[in-house]
Chains A and B, each alone.
Chain A
Amino acid sequence: KRRRLTMADILLGVTGKDYVLLAADRSAARSIIVFKNDEDKILELDSHKLMATSGPQGDRTNFGEYIQRNLQLYNLANSVPLSTHGAANFARRELAEALRRSPWQVNSLIAGFDKKGPSLYYMDYMASMHKVDKAAHGYGAYFTLSVMDRYCVKDMSLEEGLSVLKKCIHELQTRFLLKCNSFILKVVDKDGTRIIDMDGNTVEPPKPKTFNKSDDSDSKADE
């Protein structure tokens, strides 16, 4: 029943002075087939927390959404928000309890901004967890950790953090066998989470489809 843990998903994370930056590749593939190139592997757990997940599609989405829904429940049931530390430990506890029953094969990076500032947690599928300043999962880690070690400094600005990430992505595109053309970048800071592009500009997420008659250009009511 063991499924091979794929290491092809690329997850990167760096912490700066007052933000945490996460990057994930956008391809969803199995064996030699690529299903899509616009997969979003970074979940918004709540207004000020992000979780990037990697692994087989089923486990990845299932675990991610389970943590996300439980955090939503926490926010609704209690009048105080959960800290990043609390959320990360909750996720870790779930992985640890399931480990010796029916484990999830999910590696993740949890990033958040709370009263204590920005924090990044590296978690692997065996429920080991570390609070870190920079992290990477999968094959991508072999290429990028050294780049991060070389160029990351304490209390980086967002521009500096982005430039490090750009160097990491360039390294991957040069030396990693698997094509990784597009990445999704998300940042969390005191104002919450947002999607950004390589230059630091905010990217609007696609608007959800509305069902108002007035939006429907085929509506006969306009005639």
Chain B
Amino acid sequence: MSRRYDQSTTTFSPEGRLHQVEYAMEAINNAGTCVGIVDPNGNGIVLAAEKRVVSKLLAPSKISEKTYPIDDHICCLVAGFSSDAAILIQEARLGAQRYLYTYQEPVPVEQSVKSICNYKQSYTQFGGLRPFGVAFLFAGYDINNGFQLYQTDPSGNYSGWKATVIGQNNQAGKSILKTDYNETNLTPNNNNNENNNNNENPLTPSINLAIKILLKTMDSSTPDSSRFEITLLTKNKRDDNEVDVQYMKLNDKEIKYYLDGVVTEEEKKKKNEASTSSDI
């Protein structure tokens, strides 16, 4: 029935929907899962993603498949068509540098996100071109609002999140977040994981939660560290009271370390549950 109204972006259906935009959003649901978690204690943001294309023949390169920096203080995770994403990322980078050129200070994160979203929206209204099949998780820091996480979708809408999941099986991921995302869980001292000592990175519990979510959303049950891409966004206070924002992509060894920690923890939990249930 609505087939007649879904060929062009610029046509509303009789129910008042833009089918092309909705189909674009469906495309995202088949993409590799992306998780973003803002540490409730203000230590930073964890961005974790499942890499889809893993082959020994792939040339190892410094460029990642899912995570891209936009400026010194903003980076993003991509879910959807990489080629579409590349255009938008270039726009975002250009916008950030233009802002820096005019105001001599880093662009506030929301403004960068808003301009990308406006760009995306124009493809749902003008020109008869298809929308971008990309959803982003933008993570950044600015002096006014601290650490922020934004999700954007092909319609050009954006929203701010404390933690969210996009891509394949995101509903499963979101339900885990609903129970597990709280300050007590994500503060290192309260973390029950005995593999980590107290000098550990304060983002460790958030990293562990992100990995736990990805394990649930992945289609394979035997996770290999090469399937994960994890980036941490943190800040350092300098001597002159300025703030240095930095993002660090975890290397293979580090991912393996956290992954092993989480897998061991999960197995322990399963054993505990099995032993208590056998008491009944």
- On A, residues with C-beta under 8 Å from B are 78-83, 85-87, 89-90, 93, 115
Residues 138-192 of B at the A interface (beta carbon under 8 Å): 142-145
| Cβ-defined partner of B143 (8 Å) among A78, A79, A115 | A115
* Interchain CB contact under 8 A, A93 and B102: yes
- Residues in B whose Cβ lies below 8 Å from that of A81: 144
Selected contact of A78 from candidates B104, B105, B111, CB within 8 Å: B111
Q: Which chain B residues lie closer than 8 Å to A82 at the CB level?
A: 103
Enumerate 14 A-B pairs (CB-CB under 8 Å) in ascending A order.
Answer: A78-B110, A79-B110, A80-B111, A80-B145, A81-B144, A83-B105, A85-B105, A89-B104, A90-B102, A90-B103, A93-B101, A93-B102, A115-B143, A115-B144
- 19 additional A-B pairs beyond A85-B105, A115-B143, beta carbons within 8 Å, are A78-B108, A78-B111, A79-B110, A80-B110, A80-B111, A80-B142, A80-B144, A80-B145, A81-B144, A82-B103, A83-B105, A85-B103, A85-B104, A86-B103, A86-B105, A87-B103, A89-B102, A89-B104, A115-B144
Rounded to whole Å, the gap between the CB of B27 and the closest CB of chain A is 31
The total of Cβ contacts below 8 Å across the A-B interface reads 30
Provide the bound-state CA to CA distance between A86 and B142, in Å: 14
Complex: A83 Cα to B106 Cα, angstroms? 11
Which residues of B sit under 8 angstroms from A80, Cβ to Cβ?
A: 108, 110-111, 142, 144-145
Name the 5 nearest CB pairs between A and B, nearest first.
A86-B103, A89-B104, A80-B144, A86-B105, A80-B108
A138 to B237, CA, bound (A): 41
B167 to chain A, nearest CB (A): 28
With A and B bound together, what is the CA distance between A85 and B106 in angstroms? 11
Residues of chain A lying within 8 A (CB to CB) of residue B144 = 80-81, 115
Chain A residues contacting B145 (CB-CB under 8 Å) are: 80
Docked Cα-Cα span, A85 to B103, in Å, equals 7
Most buried by B among A83, A87, A115: A83
Residues of chain B contacted by A90 (CB below 8 angstroms): 102-103
Q: What CA separation (Å) do A83 and B242 show in the bound complex? A: 14
| CB-defined contacts of A83 to chain B, threshold 8 Å | 105
Per the bound structure, the CA–CA distance linking A171 and B32 in Å amounts to 73
- Cβ B103 vs Cβ A89 within 8 A: yes
Contacts of B105 in A (CB 8 A): 83, 85-86, 89
Question: CB within 8 Å of A: which of B67-119?
Answer: 101-105, 108, 110-111
Contact B104 A86 (CB under 8 A): yes
Nearest residue (CB) in B for A83 is B105
Q: How far is the CA of A204 from the CA of B207 in the complex (A)?
A: 57
Name the distance in Å between B112's Cβ and chain A's nearest Cβ.
Answer: 11
In angstroms, Cα B55 to Cα A108, docked, is: 61
- Give the shortest distance, in Å, between A192 (CB) and chain B (any CB): 18
